[in-house]
Every structure is written in structure tokens, then in C-alpha cells.
Amino acid sequence: MSIVRVDGSRKVNLERLDPGDTGDLRDKKEATILFKIERERIVRLQERLYAERSQSLLVVFQAADTGGKDGTIRNVFKGVNPQGCRVWSFGVPSEEEAAHDALWRYHAHTPAVGMIGVFNRSHYEEVLVVRVKELAPKAVWKRRYDELNDFERLLANNGTRILKFFLNISSDEQKERLQERLDDPEKHWKFATGDLEDRALWDDYRKAFADAINRCATPQAPWFVVPANRKWYRNLVVARTIADALAEMNPQYPPEEANLGNIVIPN
């Protein structure tokens, strides 16, 4: 699998990773079969996690515009019991959110025991868009790397497993996807002219992504850099990584009540 796990033991150079990589898979057909197997594993393990109610999983997605955050979430969590899974998308902070400390709105949506929480954009925006668009002074966003690590340590210490995915697309791929949004009337709603402003800042965003990944990678909250130009490969490696993490968490059904075998259901 050509997904790269970053856990702080070594630095990763984003520009050396190929967004078009498809590992040892050559076509979509094979990947789709394997993908469905991984999705089934997620569905089964999620049921145990929910029944066990002692640990939780937080899955973070970050990417450039058109990077595939929405599509990945839609595909990978298909079939999961909606009762045990919550997806939160973070946009420009509301007035109330902006009146609090930067992590307040994210902390409010971290998963409770038994739950899978999915963040479509996340606390990392505080060192991504905030840094690139200079929405806060440098002294403020610089100290956020430590704050993000502290925040994740708090969550991990309290039983939350954290997986952070950076969906790595190339600049050319983004150009094509933005063009598709213009060409297809059904995709017009996704097109925001602000995306072009962000595209013009591509290099600044890449530096900000690289710093976020390298400065906030720990064994308890690793980053995964996903080759994301090919959607079928992206879906497969993300699903497999999540299924493997859930398997490692090894959630167990709680002990049953005693003597269930002797119970007779009354008429």
C-alpha cells in the first residue's frame, strides 16, 4: 500500500510523494472488489465498538479543494449504522465560534464512547487557512501546533483513537476537477470562486500542509498521506487503514447477563 504513515519518527517530504500512485494495483475493477471487503470489515467492527461503549474513533480528513474529502466520506462509511457515526463539516467559524478559543468548536464534536466521529476539515484549519490567509497573527498560529498536539493527547488519553488523512492530489488534478465543476451543471453548486483564490496560493498551502503533518504526527495521532488522484485507490487505502485501526482497537461485545439460556419469554 502506498499510503504513507507519519508518526513523528521521521519527516516526510510531500513533494516527493506521487499523488498518482496506485501501489501494485493497476485498475479500478480489482480495487473495487478489495474496497468492498474493507468496507464490510468497518461495518462489522463499528457494531462492536458501539456495543462495547468504552473507546471511540476520530477520523480527520484534510485536503486542498476538490481533494475528495466528501467523496471519501460518502464511499468509505456507506453501510455503517448511522446511529454510531457522526460526520461534522467545518467551514468559516460562526460569530459564536469565533468568540471562543480556537479549539472550542472542534472539541464540542469529538466522538463519545462507542462512536465514530468524522471531521470533514478539522482543528487543522487553524494552521492551514488561518496561516495561509493570515487570519491570525503569526505568533498565534505558530503556537497552535503545540496546542493541537496537546488537544490530541487529551483525546487519546481518554480513549479516542485518532486517524488523520491528508488526501494528496496534484495541482493538475485539481485543475481538471475544478473544470469539471464548471462544465457539469449538476456540479455548479460545488464551485466557489474562492477556490480559485486558494488555488493561486497552492504553494503556500503545500508548505502549511507539510508543517501540519510533520509537526503534529505522533504514534497516538498519526497522519496518513493518501495518493488521491485516483479515487478508487484513495477509497481503498483509506478504508483499509480505518478497518485495520478498528481491528487493533479490538472492541468486544459487553458481558451478557447471567443465565440467558434459562429465560423463557412469557406469552
Q: Are 246 and 7 spatial neighbours (Cβ–Cβ below 8 Å)?
A: no
Alpha-carbon gap, residue 244 to 222, rounded angstroms = 14
The residues in 184-213 that bind ligand AMP, with binding defined as CB under 6 A, are 194
Query: Rounded CA gap, 5 and 216, in Å?
Result: 12
Q: By CB under 6 A, is residue 126 in contact with ligand AMP?
A: yes
CA–CA separation, 8 vs 70, rounded Å? Answer: 27
Closest CA relative to residue 152, chosen from 90, 213, 110 = 110
Q: Is 127 in the site for ligand AMP (CB under 6 A)?
A: no
> Whole-number minimum distance, CB 210 to ligand AMP, in Å?
18
Helix (H, G, I), strand (E, B) or coil at 166: strand
Q: Which is nearer to ligand AMP, 234 or 240 (CB)?
A: 234
Please spell the DSSP secondary structure of 51-77, one letter per residue: HH-S-EEEEEEEESTTSSHHHHHHHHT
CB of 55 to ligand AMP, least distance (A): 28
Where does this chain touch ligand AMP (CB under 6 A) — which range of 87-95, 152-160, 224-232, 251-259? 87-95
Contact pick of 129, 140, 201, 210 for ligand AMP (by CB under 6 A): 129
Q: Closer CB to ligand AMP, residue 190 or residue 231?
A: 190
CB of 92 to ligand AMP, least distance (A): 4
- Which H or E run contains 226? strand 223-227
Binding characters for ligand AMP, 222-251, by CB under 6 A (x = yes): ------------------------------
Instruction: Provide the binding-site residues for ligand AMP, judged by CB under 6 A.
Output: 90-93, 121, 125-126, 129-130, 135, 194
